[in-house]
DNA sequence: CTTTTTAGCTATCAAATGATACCCATATCA
DNA sequence: TGATATGGGTATCATTTGATAGCTAAAAAG
């Protein structure tokens, strides 16, 4: 990454500290005041330089500053107990909390944690109560574990596309595979990225 | 915490998602537009309610919204493939990377991730390659899963103290328990807090 | 039956804010 | 020598933005 001038570094640091303290980027005038310059032009120039060098991304509107390179700052993801049919992202009222995870864990946007219910995947090492990190997506590859919506219930299953139907395979010798023909009240919510289990 | 009305939840969630996506809280009008109301009053009322109930803190100035119970302190933990005998904390040269986790996940200090090797706990849903979050401590309670040092090898086992010896029990019907009398080249590294598995 | 809470509306204002135009000085680089 | 990047300034403008006043309505609580 291109090196910064002292002044640019100062601005970048200030933006960063604002985000840490207020979870809100500063205004041009706040930056100006902090680095001791009058007007807003200078601050804006520094931001332009920071953007050109790739340290910052700017949006339209007030306080439209975002840092591009915040490595390893955990991303808070919602934890839900249930998933609603048709909804690509978790319903607001279902969110029971937030868990921050390493950004390297997630892919794309809209990831969330789903609390696993039942023993259908017990032989794949996924137990009742585990947290499943889900990346929302409407399709899946063969063999992947997906969250699928069947009869208004969200379940974790292995996904296999076969001829004219889809087979959702549990990993529990007491349970049978579920065969669904596509587009009949069946949706893939997303695919499984990680599972987390809590002890103690 | 006081329960929220549906509308208030909706606002809170929107603020939260804005912070996730833009690292910047929304304006009153952005909130209004999102919840489908005209003007700015209604959004402000909801924010007032959210503040009164303690979900939100407001500052002066534009976009002066901050979530109160937002996990924000990043806790980077080392990931190791092996553990050395005698060492309470992972040796520097064994660290293969860092993963940041939610502060609520860890207890005490010195926690680290250990990459699980082998199938000895497969029936407890802990598979080869899983990451085990370990809290270092020299003792354990009966039934807990611990990382124990046996013959220079770190292994994950159920811990049982029995009469004059300690039994380390795998969860794999092809493996037998290990009986060790204490203080003979046997150490407990720490106890298992969480396991994480990666898919894809 | 009144009060409180929740939820909404229109309209308006002063302050905050990003953006722009135009200007200056210094250093580096071609 | 002239172009380019850096760093700074004043002034101005159109929007954005938070805030307030005044109004309505339904539901719950007392």
Q: Residues A32-85: pLDDT tens digits?
A: 988 888 889 999 989 988 888 888 888 888 999 988 765 545 567 888 876 655
Q: Is the pLDDT of residue A176 over 80?
A: yes
**Do B102 and A101 make contact, defined as CB atoms within 8 angstroms?**
yes
Of A22, A24, A198, the CB nearest to B194: A198
Quick one: pLDDT at residue A74? 59
The residue with tokens 């500290």 is: A17
Question: Which comes out higher in pLDDT, residue B28 or B183?
Answer: B28
Cβ neighbours for A41, distance < 8 A, ≥ 6 positions apart: none
Q: Is the pLDDT of residue B170 over 90?
A: yes
Q: In whole angstroms, give the CA distance from residue B3 to residue B14.
A: 17
Work out whether strand A145-150 and strand A153-162 pair parallel, antiparallel, or are unpaired: antiparallel
**Do A62 and B63 make contact, defined as CB atoms within 8 angstroms?**
yes
**Do B144 and A200 make contact, defined as CB atoms within 8 angstroms?**
yes
Region(s) of chain A under CATH 2.10.109.10: 75-196
Report whether B196 contacts A195 (CB < 8 A).
Answer: yes
- Res. A94 pLDDT band, cuts 50 70 90: low
Collect all residues of chain B within an 8 Å Cβ-Cβ radius of residue A23: 19, 23, 25, 66-67, 70, 72
Region(s) of chain A under CATH 1.10.10.10: 6-67
Q: CA A185 → CA A85, A153, B45, distances in Å? A: 9, 11, 40
- For range A107-115, the mean pLDDT: 84
Report whether A193 contacts A107 (CB < 8 A).
Answer: yes
A151-155, A192-196, B19-23, B71-75: least confident range: B71-75
Answer CATH for B75-196 from 2.70.98.60, 3.40.50.11740, 3.30.43.10, 2.10.109.10: 2.10.109.10
Q: What class has domain A6-67?
A: mainly alpha
- For range B36-55, the mean pLDDT: 87
The residue with tokens 């005698």 is: B86
Quick one: pLDDT at residue B61? 85
Mutate to test the interface with B, among A16, A17, A20, A22 (most CBs of B within 10 A): A22
Please tell me which residue in A23, A62, A120, A191 is annotated as part of the active site.
A120
Q: In whole angstroms, give the CA distance from residue B7 to residue B22.
A: 22
How long is the CA B2 to C1' C9 vector, in angstroms?
A: 28
Of B20, B24, B102, the CB nearest to A24: B24
Read off the DSSP letter of residue A5.
P
Cβ burial of B162 (10 Å; 0-12, 13-18, 19+) is exposed
């Amino acid at each position: 990454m291109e090196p910064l001038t002292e002044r640019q570094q100062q601005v970048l640091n200030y933006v960063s500290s604002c985000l840490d303290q207020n979870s809100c980027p500063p205004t041009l005038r706040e930056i100006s005041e902090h680095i001791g310059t009058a007007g807003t032009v200078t601050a804006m120039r520094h931001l332009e330089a920071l953007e050109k060098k790739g340290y910052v991304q700017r949006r339209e509107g007030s306080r439209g500053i975002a840092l591009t390179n915040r490595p390893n700052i955990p991303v808070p993801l919602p934890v839900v107990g249930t998933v609603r049919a048709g909804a690509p992202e978790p319903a607001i009222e279902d969110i029971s909390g937030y868990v921050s995870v390493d950004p390297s864990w997630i892919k794309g946007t809209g990831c969330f944690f789903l609390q696993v219910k039942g023993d259908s995947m017990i032989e794949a090492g996924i137990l009742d109560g585990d947290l499943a990190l889900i990346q929302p997506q409407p399709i899946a590859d063969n063999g992947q574990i997906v969250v699928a919506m069947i009869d208004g219930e969200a379940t974790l299953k292995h996904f296999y596309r076969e001829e004219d139907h889809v087979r959702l395979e549990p990993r529990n010798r007491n349970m049978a595979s579920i065969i669904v023909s596509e587009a009949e009240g069946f949706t893939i919510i997303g695919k499984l990225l990680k599972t987390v289990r809590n002890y103690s």
